[in-house]
Structure 1
């Protein structure tokens, strides 16, 4: 009997091995008396790890009913155990079907042959491994804190027992049982969640492998002189397309099975997590004195949020990868295929318009938007608990005392109004350094394409985009220099341009002059680097939609300088010319779509950090303007800084919005060409391009919100509900103003 479960995904292998050790993943071939003994062992494990806890904590909850702080102290782990019991029962009941799903995914991932495919599988394994390590570490810190934070005579967790737990040896035995059950149950909870999220990761990994197969359909099939595949090559292509369709169907079936087997437990987990996050936050504001307990509660809160995030992230990735199948099919060289094969490709693209989704009980889709909705709902419940609690006044006094410990709010905002800017700048610098090769290649390719334009109208398009980005750079630089020189020139000795703590007295010479020079130089260089990094991203986005505009221009001129015959159709020779032009347009369209994907991949997360931090920066800058007595020069520099921060967000959103708009114009441009004088084959090719253009190109901030002019006024996205950046910033500003008064 093998204890270690073999799987190409290490996280899934470890998770299933953990379940096997406690009786919930029987080895293959186990039957008869041995299987019965294993099932008895599983029932015993469930009773020791969860059954006793569930009974004791449920009774305790009824005993202390009405005391909100004590109820939340009992409930915050009771609900965790209830959700865990649901997942245990689900695995026990559906074990054979889940095993078949695991084996099917393992078989597909082990069968990859090419280096590119192996890299996709390896990257999937690395991602899930990192998530498992993070989840395990947070859980270990939390449980260790719970186990060691109990004071003498108290147990780590509140629970009712039918005997006196304060006397020996009952106290020691109960304490040992709680600690043992806490550690084992917590790690099993990690294992069960890892099983689900790893299976989701394998599912979207299979879709990535399918996308690779579709993009490389015609690899090693050189096109003949007529510009089409030969009959023998068509046979090879038919076999490859059929394999892709079977692969697609099996991946979709795996997603359907994931929905069938794990939807209800996930729904239970989400509902429980919503309550747990709420009551844990309530416990945090009620805790006092025990720092170990406070720290463990903090990590527990983070742990629960991370648990929900993993489900939502993997579900979101599955939906994203399923929608990318249509794009991958379009990126194949379909223009060299026969009409029958093109229809096959179109069939795949049509099916891919229906995105694969995993839902929680059929109520909400696993996505990043759902994650934000759960956090919002948890905060609403937390607010309700604070209002119900009779000790609300005490908690408010504690919060006020905490603020007074941190110090004067004006001083805090004075030190912090550029801190957030520097944090985001550091993230963007690290991102460019880590991805410099990919970014360099992207810049060179954009430069080459835009330098190759020859027609006057194409040159005019390139120049118009260049003028736009140049003027934006001028305005951005002018405002930034106003900020830098204003901050540097607005202080007198012994004050520095920026408040900061140094391990020496910075008010006396020559320390003051050296520190002043360092701060001024660092400000100028940081401003230049920040401008350069933002301009790099916005200019690449502008070049991307510039290429879309050039492509639209080429599509409208497909039949330029070609005459129709007496039948009001193009001649056979002219058809060949149009076919060559259309193929060039399709190749350019595919190249632009790949560049947009590269921009998303390389810059999405830094943009997300920029948008997230922007509301805080606008807040503290507005606070400085409202409350700090300052000279006119400093007032001017802060106004310029506030404008710069808003302009920075606007530039990202504006260019992202333009990219989306220009990508949708491709379909209209294809329609505006005289397609009615073309043959049926050419019309089908145009139709294929128009169908692909229905799915717009979007650059997102961390996959959470699209860059658009609407997003300029938003900082967070929920399901059908958006909060505006300016509105959020003003809300933070109002809070600070109230605290100051």
Structure 2
């Protein structure tokens, strides 16, 4: 029977994050340890080449924005579209700076002995492919719409006049797509790995809760019970260590994400007050990019919120165990677990805002408040 693309990835490497790491490898962000010296050299060139493509895109669009500085609508439209690329570019830089720390953490997780179901692995992979496909579809749709209308999807400087002929317009759109799409794939590869790591922590915490609830003390099997409880405590401590290291690695990454969403909301609020209803295509473009940004932000906040809930669930699971029949020394140890679980595992954006549903709701509320203030100012 023919194997799917995802199944082939699993056959190559059956680790927790095999698909995510392969995706990162293909977009030039994760050099494999098995590469030879010459392969590492060429891979480094490939990595720098994709960096250069993103920088070229930002330079071309930056010059194009400056050339239309007198047209406020064009300036805001360019900034709105370029903001996505700036967001991904800065997160890529942070990822590269923290890559060695992240590799060490992933190696520890792989060697931990924890289990992740095949369904979860496939869900992680499908999530990344869905995001990539959805964004490619949105970008492609607006590029085709711009081609149909005979305009540029985003104003950029090019060494020729794109409006001179249809062929040159198509060429300009292809050049911009070639420069920006590898950077977008990098962003989704990073997002897939980050989300997979959070889901891994949540799954292991749920597994710990089940183990605590099912732990029963019997005098005849006292040593077995003590060993099981000892393993539970050790795993809980290990997961807390993973969470703290993840927060340290990704706090700047999440800060850039939160700032980008805030700026996107503010920019869209301004554009709604500036752009007329007759420019419906432009408004749809703004809303499409805003929806993508909000979906990405919601996914991070939802997973961060789930991490908080499941880590706090350890305390409830410990209390719901059959601790009343345990020896006093085991009860004291269980009390320490409950106390430790009162401080939930969390991820933050630069140490300033927790990743949670409440933070996401606050961001939406702030965006609406800005829109209301700007509307009153214009009226």
- TM-score, normalised to structure 2's length? 0.85
Aligned-pair distance for 1:276? 1.6
1:711 is matched with which residue?
none
Q: Higher relative CO (CA 8 A, sep ≥ 6), structure 1 or 2?
A: 2
1:179 is matched with which residue?
177
Asked if the contact 2:85–2:180 (Cα under 8 Å) also holds between the matched residues in 1, the reply is no
The aligned runs of 1:699-738 (5 Å cut-off) are none
Asked if the contact 1:56–1:159 (Cα under 8 Å) also holds between the matched residues in 2, the reply is yes
Aligned-pair distance for 1:334? 1.5
1:53 is matched with which residue?
57
The aligned runs of 1:271-286 (5 Å cut-off) are 271-280=259-268, 283=271, 286=275
Partners of 2:158 and 2:289 in 1: how far apart? 25
Partners of 1:133 and 1:172 in 2: how far apart? 27
Aligned pair in 2 of structure 1 residues 66, 215: CA closer, same or farther (>3 Å)?
A: farther
RMSD: 3.0
Aligned-pair distance for 1:140? 3.3
**CA displacement, residues 387-432 of structure 1 (integer Å, 9 cap, x when unaligned):** 67xxx68xxxxxxxxxxxxxxxxxxxxxxxxxxxxxxxxxxxxxxx
1:305 is matched with which residue?
294
Aligned-pair distance for 1:130? 6.4
- TM-score, normalised to structure 1's length? 0.46
Aligned pair in 2 of structure 1 residues 111, 254: CA closer, same or farther (>3 Å)?
A: closer
1:6 is matched with which residue?
13
Asked if the contact 1:197–1:314 (Cα under 8 Å) also holds between the matched residues in 2, the reply is yes
Aligned-pair distance for 1:157? 1.3
The aligned runs of 1:179-578 (5 Å cut-off) are 179-218=177-216, 223=218, 229-230=219-220, 233-280=221-268, 283=271, 286=275, 295-383=284-372
Aligned pair in 2 of structure 1 residues 122, 37: CA closer, same or farther (>3 Å)?
A: closer
1:689 is matched with which residue?
none
Aligned pair in 2 of structure 1 residues 287, 369: CA closer, same or farther (>3 Å)?
A: same
Aligned-pair distance for 1:91? 2.3
1:38 is matched with which residue?
43
The aligned runs of 1:640-651 (5 Å cut-off) are none
- Residues matched between the structures, number: 367
Partners of 1:132 and 1:197 in 2: how far apart? 9
3-state DSSP class of the match of 1:149? helix
Partners of 1:284 and 1:190 in 2: how far apart? 29
Instruction: Give structure 1 stretches of 5+ with no counterpart.
Output: 113-117, 224-228, 394-741
Match of 2:152 among 130, 152, 155: 155
Match of 2:161 among 161, 164, 175: 164
Partners of 1:271 and 1:384 in 2: how far apart? 20
Asked if the contact 1:57–1:78 (Cα under 8 Å) also holds between the matched residues in 2, the reply is yes
1:27 is matched with which residue?
32
Aligned-pair distance for 1:247? 0.7
Asked if the contact 1:23–1:38 (Cα under 8 Å) also holds between the matched residues in 2, the reply is yes
Asked if the contact 2:87–2:260 (Cα under 8 Å) also holds between the matched residues in 1, the reply is yes
Instruction: Give structure 2 stretches of 5+ with no counterpart.
Output: 1-7
Higher-Rg structure is 1
